[in-house]
Structure 1
Amino acid sequence: MTGGFTGHLDASLLKFREPRETMPSGVTKPVIGFAGMTHLGLTSAVAVADLGFEVVGFAETEEEASRLGRGKLPVMEPDLPEMLSGNKKRLNFSAQVSDLGRADIVYISVDVPTDDEGQSDLTQIRALLDRVMPELGPDALLVILCQVPPGFTRALDFPTERLFYQVETLVFGRAIERARYPERYIVGCADATRPLPESYTALLGAFECPILPMRYESAELAKISINCCLVASVSTANTLAELCERIGADWSEIVPALKLDRRIGQYSYLTPGLGLSGGNLERDLATVIRFAEAKDTDAGVVEAWLTNSKWRKDWPFRTYRDLIRPMIRAAPRLAVLGLAYKENTHSLKNAPSLALLENLGGDAEIMAYDPVVQADALPELTHCESALEACREADVLFLTTPWPEFRKLNISRLAEVMRGRAVVDPYGLLDNSAARSMGFAHFVLGRPLGSD
């Protein structure tokens, strides 16, 4: 999924919610364990520690635990290094699964990989559960934080009064913001009419957000439902933005009208993008399709969203092929700025840049730059040290990831170093008027060529 938070935590958020130093009267602050120090587990653990809880983070190896103890992070997230450093005294990283035995609540918190078909690989979760469950204390709670298909939690061989499923809030590039300041907590229970255990209420209550208990299957499907609604918004924006390009309308002029409609709302995701990326949304759509087939219900609209996503992901190449390529010389030189599937992450999962590179094939010389993605991730590319270096002598510039630094590119300098005057800028990172004044053909999603 493209777009999202690109800065650091707003100071107003920090002022609004100070860490709660004490629990409600008579409640001892529980110790919280996280099994799995991947993106999900690490950011969640740091957020819990920031609220004053002692945290035990179980890592798979001694080397991993040692690196985390020294502040060496395996993932990139805004504000994560600072929050980790500020809570070292409350964070204990260990490769001994037995150390989870002193936790009152233990989260299973490994990232769930997906394949090209959107299928989740639950092997690591099951293996981790086999290791963790025997180590838990007799009253400890077990919470599944990983995203799992409906029916997974209830099928586990564990006392249901101590077993819960909690919908994760992970969004790459916004993980700390989302973990520390959640909108709400969705909790799956065996019996949603019974009060949550005191220790669990103490933990979730410290975040001062709504708590929504429901049956296991409802909670497991709730995350998928949220993502389906998000995909519906994205697909609508993408479809209508493309129509704007063809009829002379401007999608950015229409968006404010939609956000003032109470049935849609000011927080609606209406920014056009290059289809679905990252794997999580694609996994949820694939899950709905599989369940629909198994339960004999209709999921044609979900299949249409996937078709729409693939079509939009090819927008940069179609723009190049149909409008730019016929006008430039043979064997052109192309600059691709941004390889990650979105800003503030190094992940390439289903990235629009990969679709573009595959479509371009051997037609051109390609120079690439991304501030985070390492050269060994795509060794076949020529990687540059800076954006301007990648643009030198380029006939066409593609801006395929909305990194904040690309918004600061000096258009005059681009005009100096580039040979051509074509910019494919889906997210409108460059100032359109300035680009046109320098003679650039500036292609933006949802905006007809030549409009301000």
Structure 2
Amino acid sequence: MKVAVLGTGYVGLSTGVCLAEIGHEVVCIDVDERKIDLLKEGKSPIYEPRLEELLIKNSTEGRLAFTTFHQQGLREADIIIIAVGTPQSDDGRADLSYLEQAAKDLAEHIVRDCVVVVKSTVPVGTNEYVKQLLLGQLKSNVEIKMVSNPEFLRQGSAIEDTLKADRIIIGSDDVSASEKIQEMYRPLNVPFLLTDVRSAEIIKYASNAFLATKISFINAIANLCEAAGADVEDVAKGMGFDKRVGSAFLNAGIGYGGSCFPKDVKALLHTSRELGVPFSLLEETISINEHQQELLVDKALKRFGTLNGKKIAMLGLSFKPNTDDMREAPSIKIARSLTASGAEVAAFDPVAASNARKVIGDIITYVDSAVEAAKDADALFVVTEWEEFKQHDVAALLDVMKQPIIFDGRNCLDEAALKACKTIEYYPVGRPAVILKGND
């Protein structure tokens, strides 16, 4: 099939590359000339495991192309996938301005019958709205059929999540359009759920809101465990054995971030308010997460009394490992709170420092290694659970620190290695602290 993808962000680029990988002819379209120039050179503008490798492979083999010209990209497309951003507005609703512009661009340049697929995360009713925009501005006499096909990609595993998806949601009121999208995805050999358009739109929000709520729930339990002297990891393990609960997303820590959970929870809450349906559970999910992102700073303040003049090492800046994405990353709030309290912050992240600097600015110092960050530090914050931090020699970090104090926001350090240290103060989330003083 011949497929056009509008937008080369995480969703659009991962989708385009993977569709080319399973044999389709794909053209990715973006108005950002810098990004398109990079992609034509075989360079990915975002960090995502395996993405650049498959980008180069499919470009070289002639199944994947990139352009800034809609007329060129849409000329032969049977299927057009809209994968532009729908960021959060100030009032919590999804900002549809990029989607509206995409619809206008399509209306001007579509020259053949096609199926238009909205893959962007959008509020209920948006597919109908996009179709109205298209039909009202079409320049050619063509037939357009709409499909809602929400994505469920996780940054850091987007390629794997596309090629080995749990399910593919296809929402359409047109049987032939639904069948065409099934045919496009059939090589993936994953389950399809066929539904109406509005249900498909809500499925994405409901899925992310549920997972975010699960994270906030276990974080609230973690805080209870600390007060009660219990271990949240044992509690989560005990819960996870129950098949009705499941073990996924029961890792206590400093809250969720990223491009999906924060905005999707707020967008669903905004929709519920617009429809007059109370949804206080989502309000509490948001409130718990916002508090949790301050947890390490609160712990440090309790330990030191004041952070003024203290040097804090931060390990990790991206909102999760294996990505350079800084959107809604807990590190942003932590860095700002620390510096506002008078602390000096040295931070290291394997890939996200450049993006972090754009968001956090120069209120903190960016260094090139975990050891450099830890040098002369009064305390160390583990903010992102990068594998290299989990595997790092803790003793080597403690050796260069002014004080051997660690606040682990992801409970990811090896407790056996910590207990092997002669002197250490280790404060995890929802678990008893490990405090060893020389001869203990």
TM over 0.5: yes
Change (3 A) 1:362 1:257: closer
Residue 236 of structure 1 aligns with which residue? 217
Residue 31 of structure 2 aligns with which residue? 60
1:45-86: CA deviation from partner (whole Å, max 9, x where unpaired): 001111011111112145433321111211000111111122
1:176-219: CA deviation from partner (whole Å, max 9, x where unpaired): 1112211111112125xx35454322112121111112111111
- Looking at structure 1, the residues matched to 434 and 327 of structure 2 have their Cα atoms a distance apart, in angstroms, of 33
Task: Say yes or no: does 1:365 pair with 2:339.
Answer: no
Query: In 2, are the aligned partners of 1:118 and 1:282 still within 8 Å (CA)?
Result: no
Deviation of 1:288 (Å): 2.5
- Looking at structure 1, the residues matched to 88 and 254 of structure 2 have their Cα atoms a distance apart, in angstroms, of 20
User: Which among 70, 76, 81 is matched to residue 97 of structure 1?
Assistant: 70
Task: Say yes or no: does 1:152 pair with 2:126.
Answer: yes
1:304-333: CA deviation from partner (whole Å, max 9, x where unpaired): 1111111211110111111x213x896221
Please tell me the residue identity of whatever aligns with 1:370.
Answer: D
Query: In 2, are the aligned partners of 1:40 and 1:170 still within 8 Å (CA)?
Result: yes
Residue 167 of structure 2 aligns with which residue? 184
Please tell me the residue identity of whatever aligns with 1:152.
Answer: T
Change (3 A) 1:417 1:129: same
Query: In 1, are the aligned partners of 2:2 and 2:25 still within 8 Å (CA)?
Result: yes
**Residues 189-200 of structure 1: matches in 2 within 5 Å?**
189-191=172-174, 194=175, 196-200=177-181
Residue 346 of structure 1 aligns with which residue? 324
Task: Say yes or no: does 1:140 pair with 2:104.
Answer: no
Residue 297 of structure 1 aligns with which residue? 277
1:65-119: CA deviation from partner (whole Å, max 9, x where unpaired): 3321111211000111111122122101122211212011010112222245533
Residue 138 of structure 2 aligns with which residue? none
Residue 374 of structure 1 aligns with which residue? 353
How many residues are paired up?
A: 418
- Looking at structure 1, the residues matched to 398 and 48 of structure 2 have their Cα atoms a distance apart, in angstroms, of 33
- Looking at structure 1, the residues matched to 264 and 111 of structure 2 have their Cα atoms a distance apart, in angstroms, of 34
1:352-382: CA deviation from partner (whole Å, max 9, x where unpaired): 1122122221422221111222354222221
| SS at structure 2 position matched to 1:212 | strand
Query: In 2, are the aligned partners of 1:170 and 1:178 still within 8 Å (CA)?
Result: yes
Residue 434 of structure 1 aligns with which residue? 417
Query: In 2, are the aligned partners of 1:161 and 1:190 still within 8 Å (CA)?
Result: no
Q: Which moved more, 1:62-71 or 1:347-356?
A: 62-71
1:150-179: CA deviation from partner (whole Å, max 9, x where unpaired): 111112225796111111122211211112
User: Which among 79, 82, 101 is matched to residue 127 of structure 1?
Assistant: 101
Deviation of 1:422 (Å): 0.7
- Looking at structure 2, the residues matched to 344 and 152 of structure 1 have their Cα atoms a distance apart, in angstroms, of 32
- Looking at structure 2, the residues matched to 403 and 72 of structure 1 have their Cα atoms a distance apart, in angstroms, of 23
**Residues 397-412 of structure 1: matches in 2 within 5 Å?**
397-412=380-395
Residue 288 of structure 1 aligns with which residue? 268
Residue 140 of structure 2 aligns with which residue? none
Residue 254 of structure 1 aligns with which residue? 235
Residue 189 of structure 2 aligns with which residue? 208
Task: Say yes or no: does 1:49 pair with 2:59.
Answer: no
Query: In 1, are the aligned partners of 2:425 and 2:435 still within 8 Å (CA)?
Result: no
- Looking at structure 2, the residues matched to 238 and 354 of structure 1 have their Cα atoms a distance apart, in angstroms, of 19
RMSD value over aligned CA atoms? Answer: 2.1
Please tell me the residue identity of whatever aligns with 2:316.
Answer: G
User: Which among 313, 331, 355 is matched to residue 335 of structure 1?
Assistant: 313
Deviation of 1:237 (Å): 0.9
**Residues 222-233 of structure 1: matches in 2 within 5 Å?**
222-233=203-214
Task: Say yes or no: does 1:319 pair with 2:289.
Answer: no
Larger relative contact order, structure 1 or 2 (CA cutoff 8 Å, min sep 6): 1
Q: Which moved more, 1:34-43 or 1:330-339?
A: 330-339
What percent identity do the matched residue pairs reach? 28
Query: In 1, are the aligned partners of 2:77 and 2:114 still within 8 Å (CA)?
Result: yes
Query: In 2, are the aligned partners of 1:238 and 1:272 still within 8 Å (CA)?
Result: yes
Deviation of 1:249 (Å): 1.4
- Looking at structure 1, the residues matched to 190 and 65 of structure 2 have their Cα atoms a distance apart, in angstroms, of 26
| SS at structure 2 position matched to 1:440 | strand
Query: In 2, are the aligned partners of 1:114 and 1:279 still within 8 Å (CA)?
Result: no
- Looking at structure 1, the residues matched to 158 and 91 of structure 2 have their Cα atoms a distance apart, in angstroms, of 25
Change (3 A) 1:391 1:62: closer
Residue 3 of structure 1 aligns with which residue? none
Change (3 A) 1:119 1:197: closer
Change (3 A) 1:110 1:152: same
- Looking at structure 2, the residues matched to 199 and 432 of structure 1 have their Cα atoms a distance apart, in angstroms, of 52
